[in-house]
Chains A and B, each alone.
Chain A
Amino acid sequence: MNDMKNFSDERLNAFVDNQLGGQECEEILAAIATDVELGQRISALRSTKELVRHAYGRAPAGQRVSWRQVPFWGGALAASLALLFGMLMGWQGHHAATAMEGGESVAAWAARLFAMEPTRILIHLDSSRPEQMDAALDLADAYLAKTSNARIEIIANNTGLDLLRARTTPYARRITELKAHHQRVGFIACGQTISRLRGAGEDVALVPEAVVTRTAIEHVAERVQEGWTYLKI
């Protein structure tokens, strides 16, 4: 498709802020699919928005909470950060490497990713959907099998934390085995998700391999700054 439209910044902001009607949204979504630069502009706007939200916290209405206690990591944030990091890592030409295509096996996806041979990979899981938990572990498994000196971390937040909770994980044994075979794999739990769950009265015991970080967003930002390759499952 060569008839790329020139979208104004005002319009892209309105898109990011959900101020556009259905048809206008669809036009932009259709254009993103073929226009890498447009995707980058939208990612940058979304990232800016999410940084502002992060900096001042997002308290639920009617509760007096300080920003440090506020759970801010919603699905939209995760999605936009994934877009942002994909963009910043210079992967514009490798969209396929950051997202699994319909019907594609993890192995095929991993093969394309691994062709790029990163040595430090951060895998981010924010959902408890079994196929996503599977994908995160399969990916770590496959890559460690191929590249023994690679470092891999799986960071879990939101409902993805279920992977690392002793009571909810279907994969306690698999995690133990992975860690036993590969010292360089890490399982990181988001401290903010844990506080939120505890605040709601839940008992959050983690598998022994898990270590807790302050917040997922800060961990991801830190790793990306250190040069890690970031993958959102």
Chain B
Amino acid sequence: MKWLQSREQRELVEQIKASRARLHRVAFAWCHDTALADDLAQEALTHALAKVEQLRESERLVSWLFAILHRCWVDFLRARREDLDDEALAELPSDLPGPEALAERQETVSRVRAAVAALPLGQRQVVTLVDLEDLSYAEVAEVLAIPIGTVMSRLCRARGSLRGLLLESRAAQPLLRSVK
């Protein structure tokens, strides 16, 4: 029995190590800084590996890992600004140039990233976990420790803003436009 447990744990450790790319991608979508995303993913992995015995159900691995990543990110932000409560965190804007820079960006990827960066942090986290990781709303609620209704309302606002910026914007040329 003891041997079985350790084999399961070894498998979990392998799965955790193999999750680096996913953690990095989501961290990058939150912070839009490659070096910082590297650090956050590395830190989340280190925490996860140190606490692997706390994970009781291996099927919850993904949301458990992203919850750790979220805490690493929040710790990083709070280290820079101690006054951040949960609400202020969710509304935190990005350091990156926002929608006004969109008009100058022609390449799809840069424009979408700029639009995502322009979202308040809480919305950015929800929309990236749902879209990039296919997490269920319940899993996102667990990862970010917020009610599922908040997940849905943030997602709604995020998609509404992205749609406005990317598909309907008048200031910027929309990515796709209608054909006469």
- CB < 8 Å neighbour of A218 from B21, B29, B108: B108
User: A166 vs B179: C-alpha distance in the bound complex, in angstroms?
Assistant: 34
* A174-195 CB contacts (< 8 Å) to partner B: none
User: A218 vs B116: C-alpha distance in the bound complex, in angstroms?
Assistant: 19
Size class of the contact patch on chain B: 35 or more
CB distance from A76 to the nearest CB of B (A): 11
Does B64 sit within 8 A of A, measured CB to CB? no
Majority SS of interface residues in chain B?
helix
- Cβ of A14 and Cβ of B176 under 8 Å apart? no
User: A85 vs B167: C-alpha distance in the bound complex, in angstroms?
Assistant: 11
- Cβ of A88 and Cβ of B19 under 8 Å apart? no
Most chain A beta-carbon neighbours within 10 Å: one of B28, B113, B163: B163
- Cβ of A221 and Cβ of B175 under 8 Å apart? yes
Closest to A44 in B: B163
Contact with B along A41-79 (1 / 0, CB 8 A): 000110111011111111101111101000000000000
- Cβ of B153 and Cβ of A45 under 8 Å apart? no
- CB < 8 Å neighbour of A52 from B21, B132, B156, B175: B132
Whether A56 contacts B128 in the complex (CB less than 8 A), given A19-B137, A45-B163, A225-B176, comes out as yes
- Cβ of A14 and Cβ of B175 under 8 Å apart? no
Does B109 sit within 8 A of A, measured CB to CB? yes
Does B47 sit within 8 A of A, measured CB to CB? no
- Cβ of B159 and Cβ of A13 under 8 Å apart? yes
**Which residues of B pack against A, CB within 8 Å?**
15, 18-22, 25, 28-29, 108-109, 112-113, 116, 127-128, 130-132, 136-137, 152-153, 155-156, 159-160, 162-163, 166-167, 175-180
Interchain Cβ contacts under 8 Å between A and B, 20 examples = A17-B137, A19-B136, A44-B167, A48-B162, A49-B130, A49-B159, A51-B108, A51-B175, A53-B132, A54-B108, A55-B109, A55-B116, A56-B28, A59-B21, A59-B25, A61-B22, A88-B177, A118-B179, A218-B108, A225-B175
